[in-house]
Each structure stands twice: as structure tokens, then as C-alpha cells.
Structure 1
């Protein structure tokens, strides 16, 4: 539900299987120079790129796209590509629910009540999850895994049908972040109840942060990281003055279209929405987004929520939480937490676009007015 301009269109995808394919786009000038040097037997390194170059492929059941606007040679780009893949593989090895050998799977299978050593990365994501759970009053809960599986949106791959009510109530009773205790000083955690931790609502955002941090360590000053719609940018798209541009994707006659295009620099954006992933039974639509407080799919009119935050892990978690809450409760919490948020609310055959005051502060009144966005009053929760 985010789109980049003019480089590409993006959509958020929620599958979490791991697969990687690699594609590399380098300016033709660089390729021609490389070929000429090869033919002549020269070992001199080809000249750096003169424009943005892009690494792209498949990851986490969706796609990745890394655009670098700094001058880089083919050799440097190859090394960067391997480093990016290593970062994403590391997150998958730690936090995947699809891999039986992941660190998270081991934690989910560990004996109840026994402290388990955790990596810095998994501890950080669990700590973020715990914080957003508390601030959202339970709307974000990573122990929802057993309910996600029950509703056919997890690795159990159950038939797409409404769960039995008794089974639903049983699994709902098991859910709760109070069953996961963290000892951040000793980097250990334990489950006190047989909860199933599923980090799909935050891990992709964390992976986006990790890739960005890797690029920072390589001295890259101008880049865009996009993992399945989770976006983090730094610097400029042309290495000089042009902001990275994104647009929120909305369906128009079942065809995605990008609207509300804004410029970004040195920030993260995450979007969560429910109009793509659902199943139908007996004429009723069931969203893929499960409310951990009820154990059932959401039914409100909030179709999409976009959160802007320095950390993509936090943005990802908050986007999920606000999607669960709905347009009214979600915007109230966004205002309380001073989050820049853009919501798309279903209105018949169209959409009402609403933003928080913090969104106005981040992008400016001129941008908000030009895009025709409705600001929700921080004081009263009313529309302005």
C-alpha cells in the first residue's frame, strides 16, 4: 500500500515464507565499461555508478528492493548485496515461525517456566512488542500466533473456514503478553503459559532497520530500503536534493492506485491494511487482521493505516496495532503517542483520508492541504 516514484510501485504483503532470488540493476554505462576492461585484460576497477543502482529480489514471501544513490563500483555493489542478504538471513534465522530451526521456534518449544538465552536482536524485538502491547492496551500482541493459525493465516495452513467456537475461546484464553517474561539485563526470556509467539507484525520492520544500519556502516549516505512495503530512507534519491517519494496505495475498481504522494528523508514508513488478505464464507468477509482482545477478525471501516517513525520496527508494530483498533480508537492512541499517522477509512465505494496532527507537523500544512487530507483534532478526536 505504499508506492515509490518514479522508481517503482510497492504493495504490502503479509506472507512470511523465506525465499530469495537476486536481481541486480546497474547503469548500462557501468556494464559497458566493465565489458571493455575485461576484453582488454585490464584489471582496473570499473568507474563508480553515475546514478542510483538497485538490488532487488524475493524475501520473506514478498520482495526486497534496495536503491543506492551514492556512487558505487560493481565490486562494491556486489559486496553490499551480500551484506544485505546476510542481514535478512540473520533476521529470518532468528524470528521466522516457518523455520523449525529458528531461534523463535526454539523459544516457542522450550519448557514452560525455564529461562532461555536470547540474541540481542530477538530480545530487542520482544521488548518493542511488549512496549507497544502496553501502550495499545493489548491491541498489539505477539502471543496471538495460535489464533492466527486457527484462522488459517499462519504456518499451520488450516482450511479457510470459521473456527469452532469452543476451540476459539480456548486459544483466546491462552493469549497474553503477561505470559512472556523478559530479563533484558541477562538477555533471557521465558514463557509462563503455553503461548505461541509470532513476530510477523514487527520482524519485517526490524529487518528493514537492520539492512539500513548495515548500509550506514558501509558509509552509504543516500539509500532506500524497501522490504515488502516497509520503507526506510536516508539522504536523497539523487544524492543531492531530491527527496525520496512515496504514495499510499488505494484500490480503484479493484486496481491499486497510488495517492497522497509525499517526500521523505531520514525516516521510516510502515503500512498495514486488510483489503487484500481475507477469506469469505457464507457471504461474509473475514479479514486477515485478528484482534487479540477478541480472537476474531476486525470488522471496522479502517482499511489502511500508515505510520511514520524513525524506527521501522516501531512503525511496523504501531501500524498493526492501529489497524486492530480501528479509525476512532486508533487515532486517539496515535494522538496520545504523538505518532504521524495517515488512515484510509472506507466510505461506501470510496475512501476518507485522515491524518494525525503529528503527521501535519512532520510534512507541513501545505502538503496536507494539497493532498486534501482531513486532520483529526488532537484535543477532541473530532475531524477538522
Structure 2
């Protein structure tokens, strides 16, 4: 592992913290735990944690992540989401308050992106081989795409929240919901909430590409995260940011892909076309008050492409950083709201005002 850049995902890198997983140090100055969850990796890094706060912490971290997996996994047949997807009816189904909050966020962002971020896109994700199903041997036909698209749309989903509980309802029995676009941020926020409950005020937690931090690092400096250049080199930083207690998430089209019949296919599916995106925007990073909020917006912006993503970021006042492929390399753009977080940037174009 590189001494100065600890990889969080193929999109963001942590630049301050421990060099390797370790138990609590003698003076409790630094502590880290990491592992696998949701088909990706999680990491919890603490600075000067209270000694009593560490008792049973690893077990509680595992419990939080296990609960989130139990709710959101599309790979587990017994998860809350899988049971909803497999339910062949239209009656409201009970869900937790936390899951209702996630779905409410997804519906709100989906509406603001004009359906570009759509949690019902699962049939298309599966058709193109990026879900629980295997990758196709042949390119899906237009008839197959049209058939899958007929089962996609946020208007088919209804969330009801009352004092007595929360329910999720679909008007198509075979509607398939995939919450992976916000799942990493959802779990990251839950880990952050666990730290707060344990009285831990200096931490950085991440699940996959979603990160959130509070306080200072073990070196008494701001936790710094780097946005990776869209290349195969995992330690090339495009920009470095100080999260200032916010969440960050990056969506990119340059890592999760496969080639079929000579064509490179991204895992990001455009619900409007039913096909993987093929425009020049290769990375979208969002900073927001929560990791889940950032995780929801980055996918929608990636689907929209550079110009529409810029326009929406300006309209909604989002802190956004985009990387677009050009004939000569890459071009970057940041919204005015993103600039205060920047510590260092490379080849950044001035934002529109």
C-alpha cells in the first residue's frame, strides 16, 4: 500500500491517516478498522478516540453494516429489498424509517434530475450484466431493452410515511428496485452516526466511494481526500479537498465496465435510452452535508453528461467537480460551491458564473 495515499475506491483517495490497519495504539492516538461489505470495502479511521469508546466498537461496526446489508442487498434473497422485489403484488410493504429516508432522498433526487437517477433501473442494470445476473454473451436487442424499460420508472413507486410506520408500494408487480446508487452513502452515514453515539468526534469513515469526516486526523490536520484522475493508476490525484465535516462521493465510468463485441460498456445505465452511457463525462464528484446525499447526486449527474450536469449543479447550488474526456486529454470543471473545499487542483477550468 502506498505510504502517502490510502486507496478508498477507484475514484477517491485518502491522503491523511494510518498507513495500515492497526489496533488501538498505546496512547490511543490512532485507530483503524476495515473490511468488506456490500461488495466493496469499508474503512473507519479514528484520531485520539476515548478509550472507553473503543470497547466493542469493531463488533458494533459489523452490526451496523450487517443491518444495512440485510435491508438493501439485491444479492441476498432474504433482504428487505429482495423480498420487496420478489413480492408479486401491489400492496404496501413495511420498511424501516432509515430505509424510508433513503428512498425519499432517491425519489427527490430522481425528480430533480428528470429521472436520470432512477432506483427502479434494476431491470436494465441486470440486462446489461451489472446486477446479480451474469454478463450477457451477446449485446441485448432493442426488443429486450424496450421490455426492460417498460418495467422502469419512479412513477411506479410510492412511499408512505405515517406515525404508525413506513411502507413502500409498487403499481407493477415485477418492479425491481436497486438502491446501490445510494447504498454506500447510506452505510457511511450510519457508521458516522455510530461514531457520534460513542462520543468519537475525530473520524473519517468510508464505504466504497462514499466518505464523511469530522474533526482532525491523527496528525492534527484536516482529513484530506483526493479525487483520482480517470486512469488505471490508483495514486494519481486530480484534486485534493478538505471535507470540512461534509460527505463526498464520486461516480465514474472508467473502472466498472466490460467489453462486449468490441464495445466498452459502462455500468452506469441511462434510463432514458436503456443503454450504458457513452458520452464524454467520465467522473462526477459531489460534496454534500451527508454521504448519502452526495452518493445520490453523483450518479444522476454522470447519467446527464457534462453540459446538463453543469446546468443542474448551478440550478441546484450543488458542490460539484466534473472530469470530461477530450481529444487531447481531460478537462475539469467545478461549481462555485465546490471551490471552498479545494486545497489543490490540476488543470481546472474556471467555473461559470
Task: Provide TM-score, normalisation by structure 2.
Answer: 0.91
1:377 aligns with 2:352: yes
1:25 aligns with 2:26: no
1:142 aligns with 2:124: no
Could you tell me which runs of 5 or more consecutive residues in structure 1 were left unpaired when the two chains were aligned. Answer: 14-22, 31-47, 379-384
Partner of 1:128: 105
Contact kept? 2:230, 2:282, Cα under 8 Å? no
1:11 aligns with 2:47: no
Q: 2:229 aligns to what SS in structure 1?
A: strand
Q: 1:108 aligns to what SS in structure 2?
A: helix
Distance in 2 (alpha carbons) for counterparts of 1:209 and 1:239: 24
1:278 aligns with 2:276: no
Distance in 2 (alpha carbons) for counterparts of 1:222 and 1:76: 12
1:358 aligns with 2:333: no
Partner of 1:167: 144
Partner of 2:16: none
How many angstroms does 1:78 deviate by? 4.6
Distance in 2 (alpha carbons) for counterparts of 1:314 and 1:138: 16
Partner of 2:200: 220
Contact kept? 2:213, 2:246, Cα under 8 Å? yes
How many angstroms does 1:24 deviate by? 4.8
Structure with larger Rg: 1
1:92 aligns with 2:63: no
Larger mean Cα displacement after TM superposition, 231-240 or 297-306: 231-240
Could you tell me which runs of 5 or more consecutive residues in structure 2 were left unpaired when the two chains were aligned. Answer: 12-19
Please give the root-mean-square deviation of Cα atoms over the aligned residues, in Å: 2.1
Distance in 1 (alpha carbons) for counterparts of 2:104 and 2:2: 31
* Count of residue pairs brought into register by the alignment: 341
Distance in 2 (alpha carbons) for counterparts of 1:239 and 1:338: 33
Partner of 2:160: 183
Contact kept? 1:12, 1:272, Cα under 8 Å? no
1:244 aligns with 2:223: yes
CA deviation profile, 1:74-124 (whole Å, cap 9, x unmatched): x74351111111111111000110000000111112243211111112111
1:299 aligns with 2:296: no
CA 1:282–1:239: 2 relative to 1, 3 Å = closer
**Which structure exhibits the higher relative contact order, with contacts defined as CA atoms closer than 8 Å and separated by 6 or more residues?**
2
Partner of 1:42: none
CA 1:319–1:303: 2 relative to 1, 3 Å = same
Partner of 2:43: 65
Contact kept? 2:10, 2:255, Cα under 8 Å? no
Q: 1:358 aligns to what SS in structure 2?
A: coil
How many angstroms does 1:58 deviate by? 1.5
Partner of 1:35: none
Distance in 2 (alpha carbons) for counterparts of 1:302 and 1:61: 25
Distance in 2 (alpha carbons) for counterparts of 1:208 and 1:25: 20
How many angstroms does 1:71 deviate by? 3.2
CA 1:5–1:207: 2 relative to 1, 3 Å = farther
